[in-house]
């Protein structure tokens, strides 16, 4: 049925869409697309206004949905991206889920169970702050399950995303790509700035020792699970203002391509009279 | 423990807080507090900025939560209030739940079960677009359960809200009060304006015939369930710009009275070094 597939996804210039042969090390996290900070901020305002207008129509149409998946290494900017891109949408049409360590009940189910429960319903924008990809990332790096288990998950993830796109959900997957030096600077800022202390987790220093293992795990997840229906987008993310702009532009372009419409009026509606 | 109670709630001028002896018919839905539309819109921008700044601290503190309950007769402005007051907050810290006709599974549980599942967690602003009060409103007017059942629910609701406030949730309950003539005008606008057709439900015309029964049911719910910890606020709502302003100001004043703080840094954090 035309229009029921979640497609098409439109990636903004500056983003690298993962295709066969992709190598994460080839993406420059410092890329800025030729923008300076002031230009990027002005352009972001335009994209946010587009997202807000299109969201209203998506919500009114109530037929399809958008799922935005955000992954990054610690301090990569997931929270900041959500705030910059989506602050301004009507919260009634937007549900953000931050996935943390799974509960005992969640661990008693298949690994996709807790994510499936939170996918956006018709008319909604859903945001996954971390996602089902954690089960081939942190789970792999920490060796929480045997290799044959996490390796099999790439196919299960592709099957799961195929179900969603076939049911009217467009999936936008962003990997926010920062350098190891940038992570150091951001961790130091969280240690030094009292207003950022609450974001600092000493465990991040331990995780940083596994930097290379995480990069390898991200690289495999991106290439194994970038499908035509639900491709991965790698966002150069050392410069927050460029990261925000290209994510916002991709969200706006994708919503525009979905072209949500106010539903047609029920027949005879305009003949109705409202009694006193 | 000081600060763990959800209190205090601060109501803006123009709102009527329900106390013993309250009569809904005494509230003028046309009240505008002496504002004109332009003044009210400018004042709303100020309140929205306050809410956004305070929400950041509430989220960072991650100790308490705010539950905003919105009730109104059909076309009373629940959706519009959410958009006007909360568009601009970080969606990561705000979850809106719109309650519709209960599912078979929900009906197999006590009437509060589905609402309890959606109360805001620590750090969050939760919004109930319709709420547990439907079970003493539409359920009563349509006679879906016997009178002794719905009458007993006022006490159950007060118990439920006491649990929440004792656990660090501040509850703000707003009844958006419009006149019968205003409802007629709004229903006619939905019939006449193609961009509003999607909001029109022919069932609203049937419900309108029960106007007096709904007013009586609202009146009882407001007086039976306005407690010192979780009072009801009646918002004159014929003028949307006044409604938006006073709801926003009450939310902002309440968050300010809660005085959320960035958490203290863990001991020794500033001595930590980030390895290369």
Tens-place pLDDT, residues B72-89: 999 999 999 999 999 999
pTM of the model: 0.94
> Residue B269 is nearest to which of A79, A86, A197, comparing CB atoms?
A197
- B79 contacts on A by Cβ (under 8 Å): 92
Torsion on CA atoms B237, B243, B247, B248, rounded to nearest 10: 170
Q: Is A107 on the interface with B (CB under 8 A)?
A: no
Q: Please count the other Cβ atoms lying within 10 Å of the Cβ belonging to residue B134.
A: 19
Interval B147-200: pLDDT, tens: 999 999 999 999 999 999 999 999 999 999 999 999 999 999 999 988 888 899
DSSP chain B: -TTTS-PPP-PPTT-EE--TT--GGGS-TT--TT--HHHHHHHHHHHHHHHHHHHHHHHHH-S-EEEEEEEESTTSSHHHHHHHHHBTB-GGGEEEEE--SPPHHHHTS-TTHHHHTTS--TT-EEEEES-GGGGGTHHHHTT-S-HHHHHHHHHHHHHHHHHHHHTTEEEEEEEEE--HHHHHHHHHHHHH-GGGGGG--THHHHHHTTHHHHHHHHHHHHHHT--SSS-EEEEE-SSHHHHHHHHHHHHHHHHHHH---PPPPPTTGGG-----
- A188 contacts on B by Cβ (under 8 Å): 274
Q: Which residue of A has its CA nearest to B180?
A: A276
CA B229 to chain centre: 15
CA distances from A220 to A11, A101, A154 (A): 21, 22, 9
Pairwise CB contact (< 8 Å): A202 & B95 = no
DSSP A87: B
pLDDT of B8: 58
- A199 contacts on B by Cβ (under 8 Å): 60
Residue B37 within any structural domain of the chain:
yes
Stronger pLDDT, A187 or A12, i.e. the higher one: A187
Mean pLDDT of chain A: 94
> Residue A92 is nearest to which of B129, B180, B187, comparing CB atoms?
B129
Residue B126 pairs in a beta bridge with: B67, B95
Beta-carbon contacts of B101 under 8 Å, excluding residues fewer than 6 positions away, are none
pLDDT of B2: 34
Interval A199-228: pLDDT, tens: 999 899 999 999 999 999 999 999 999 999
pLDDT of B10: 74
- Report CA torsion sign: A151, A157, A159, A160: positive
Residue A267 within any structural domain of the chain:
no
- H or E element that contains A204: helix A203-208
In whole angstroms, give the CA distance from residue A112 to residue A161: 11
- Report CA torsion sign: A193, A195, A196, A198: positive
> What percentage of chain A reaches a pLDDT higher than 90?
87
Distance from CA of A52 to the nearest CA of B (A): 10
The answer to whether the CB of A104 falls within 8 A of the CB of A39 is no
The 3-state DSSP class for residue A223 equals helix
The answer to whether the CB of B242 falls within 8 A of the CB of B33 is yes
CA angle A141–A142–A148, rounded 5-degree value: 70
CA B49 to chain centre: 19
Taking one residue from A and the other from B, the number of pairs with CB-CB distance under 8 angstroms is 124
Pairwise CB contact (< 8 Å): B208 & A87 = no
Beta-carbon contacts of A256 under 8 Å, excluding residues fewer than 6 positions away, are A10, A50, A54
The answer to whether the CB of B196 falls within 8 A of the CB of A262 is no
- B80 contacts on A by Cβ (under 8 Å): none
Residue B155 within any structural domain of the chain:
yes
Distance from CA of A247 to the nearest CA of B (A): 16
Q: Residues of B numbered 71-90 whose beta carbons fall under 8 angstroms of chain A's beta carbons: which are they?
A: 79, 82-83, 86-90
Stronger pLDDT, A2 or A55, i.e. the higher one: A55
Q: Is B105 on the interface with A (CB under 8 A)?
A: no
Give the best residue of B75, B90, B91, B207 to mutate against chain A (max A CB count within 10 A).
B91
Residue A3 within any structural domain of the chain:
no
Q: Which residue of B has its CA nearest to A194?
A: B265
Residue A44 within any structural domain of the chain:
yes
Pairwise CB contact (< 8 Å): A205 & B60 = no
Residue A275 within any structural domain of the chain:
no
Which two three-digit tokens encode residue B111? 């009437």
Q: Is B103 on the interface with A (CB under 8 A)?
A: no
Which two three-digit tokens encode residue A113? 């169970």
Q: Residues of B numbered 142-171 whose beta carbons fall under 8 angstroms of chain A's beta carbons: which are they?
A: none
Q: Is B70 on the interface with A (CB under 8 A)?
A: no
CB neighbour burial string for A230-247, b if at least 16 within 10 angstroms, e if fewer: bbbbbbbbbbbbbbbbbb
Q: Residues of A numbered 178-217 whose beta carbons fall under 8 angstroms of chain B's beta carbons: which are they?
A: 180, 184, 187-188, 191-192, 194-195, 197-200, 202, 205, 208-209
Pairwise CB contact (< 8 Å): B198 & A262 = yes
Residue A7 within any structural domain of the chain:
no
In whole angstroms, give the CA distance from residue B265 to residue B274: 17
The 3-state DSSP class for residue A76 equals coil
- A194 contacts on B by Cβ (under 8 Å): 262, 265
What is the rounded average pLDDT of the residues B94-116? 97
CA A244 to chain centre: 12
- Domain of A172 in residue numbering reads as 17-258
- Report CA torsion sign: B21, B23, B26, B30: positive
Q: Classify residue A42 as exposed, middle or buried by CB count within 10 Å of its CB (0-12, 13-18, 19+).
A: exposed
Residue B71 within any structural domain of the chain:
yes
Give the best residue of B87, B125, B184, B206 to mutate against chain A (max A CB count within 10 A).
B87
* Out of A10-14, A44-48, A194-198, least confident range: A10-14
Give the CATH number, domain containing residue A79.
3.40.50.300
> Residue A91 is nearest to which of B86, B270, B272, comparing CB atoms?
B86
DSSP A28: -
> What percentage of chain A reaches a pLDDT higher than 70?
97
Band of residue A8 on the pLDDT scale cut at 50, 70, 90: low
pLDDT of A1: 32
What is the rounded average pLDDT of the residues B192-215? 92
- Of B146, B177, B166, the closest CA to residue B246 belongs to B177
- Of A233, A243, A237, the closest CA to residue A44 belongs to A243
Which two three-digit tokens encode residue B216? 């009586």
Band of residue A152 on the pLDDT scale cut at 50, 70, 90: very high
What is the tally of structural domains in chain A?
Answer: 1
In whole angstroms, give the CA distance from residue B205 to residue B130: 19
């Amino acid at each position: 049925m035309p229009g029921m597939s979640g497609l098409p996804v439109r990636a903004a210039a500056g983003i690298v869409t993962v295709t066969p042969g992709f190598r994460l090390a080839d993406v420059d996290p410092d890329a800025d697309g030729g923008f300076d900070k002031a230009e990027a901020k002005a352009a972001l305002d335009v994209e946010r206004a587009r997202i807000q207008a299109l969201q209203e129509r998506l919500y009114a149409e109530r037929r399809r949905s958008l799922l935005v998946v955000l992954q990054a290494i610690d301090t990569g900017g997931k929270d900041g991206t959500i705030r910059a891109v989506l602050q301004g949408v009507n919260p009634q049409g937007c549900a953000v889920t931050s996935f943390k360590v799974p509960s005992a009940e969640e661990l008693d189910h298949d690994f996709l169970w807790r994510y499936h429960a939170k996918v956006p319903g018709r008319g909604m924008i859903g945001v996954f702050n971390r996602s089902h990809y954690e089960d081939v990332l942190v789970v792999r790096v920490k060796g929480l399950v045997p290799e044959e288990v996490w390796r099999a998950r790439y196919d299960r993830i592709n099957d799961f995303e195929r179900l969603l796109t076939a049911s009217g959900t467009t999936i936008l997957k962003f990997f926010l790509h920062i350098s190891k030096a940038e992570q150091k600077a951001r961790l130091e800022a969280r240690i030094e700035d009292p207003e950022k202390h609450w974001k600092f987790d000493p465990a991040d220093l331990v995780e940083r020792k596994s930097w290379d293992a995480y990069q390898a795990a991200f690289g495999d997840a991106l290439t194994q699970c970038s499908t035509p229906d639900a491709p991965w987008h790698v966002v150069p993310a050392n410069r927050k203002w460029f990261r925000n702009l290209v994510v916002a532009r991709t969200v706006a372009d994708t919503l525009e391509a979905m072209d949500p419409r106010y539903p047609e009026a029920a027949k005879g509606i305009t003949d109705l009279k409202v009694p006193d």
